[in-house]
Structure 1
Amino acid sequence: MHGRGGVALTGAWRTGPRTLHGFYGNGFPDLFQLGPLQNAGAVNFVHVLDEQATRVAEVVAEARRRGAGAVEPTEEAERAWVDTIRKKAAGLYESQAECTPGYYNDEGVPRQRSESYGDGPVAFHALLREWRASGGMDEVLADAR
């Protein structure tokens, strides 16, 4: 996977993933990612993917409505989201360290650094609805800035 200027995604993420909401990254226009990275997971992964697909579809529809040339987050929006992930993940680590060992916490030894939104899926999807309602689309629609 290569972005603007031929930069490989693995190179851009050499110090760790950088996205906005786990869906898109600066330097990689029109690349949409679905999955558990830098957003909120849940027990029902099919539901998570459905929510994510809905959010991406909303962004694409808005990009078309505005005539935007690309969907790509600003560096500032991406940096702010990564900071949010780091802050929210601390509580997730503490919670998982106290849980009965299982696959979700690496048999009782969770990773020190998580790439999940620590407040959970309900809060994450509410945050995305609020983000969109409050003009957040301006952070990802390149030609609309």
Structure 2
Amino acid sequence: MSAIPLTASGAERLKEELHRLKTVERPSVITAIAEARAQGDLSENAEYDAARERQAFVEGRIAELDGTLSNAHIIDPKSLDAEGRIVFGATVDIEDLDSGERLIYQIVGDAESDIRTNKISVSSPVARALIGKSEGDVVEVQAPSGVREFEILNVNYV
């Protein structure tokens, strides 16, 4: 499997989630399954079915996080010297030239992207258009609504 890029803070969040799943969620599910089994007939036991479904989810997520973290290539944006160019981990302040809306995004790995916290995947169309560019450049992004132009206002490595 190839290396999975993660920021240092993203890797830490994934490690915390993995720890919580192993130390809190897994024992909780095991207890719920034991309690449901104690109720008798498993063929019509909704609590047992729900607990087994939850166990499958928790174990699947643990396996996913283990795989991601074991193949992670951790990049600390603070240690980058990209000379003002946009690279993985950079935080970028851009302005939509059509609407005038200002947006701030951090370019992160697929496993840690979350648009609610303004973290966009390095493989997203916006990030792909921004990579390698510098402050003052104008980029075109092919969006579902058509081509959008953004001006790069600022680049940080926080």
Band of TM-score, shorter chain: under 0.3
The TM-score with structure 2 as length reference comes to 0.23
- Tell me: higher relative CO, structure 1 or 2? Use CA pairs within 8 A at least 6 residues apart: 1
Instruction: Identify, as 1 or 2, the structure richer in helix.
Output: 1
Q: Which has the larger radius of gyration?
A: 2
Q: Answer 1 or 2: which has greater strand percent.
A: 2
**Structure 1 length as normaliser, TM-score?**
0.25
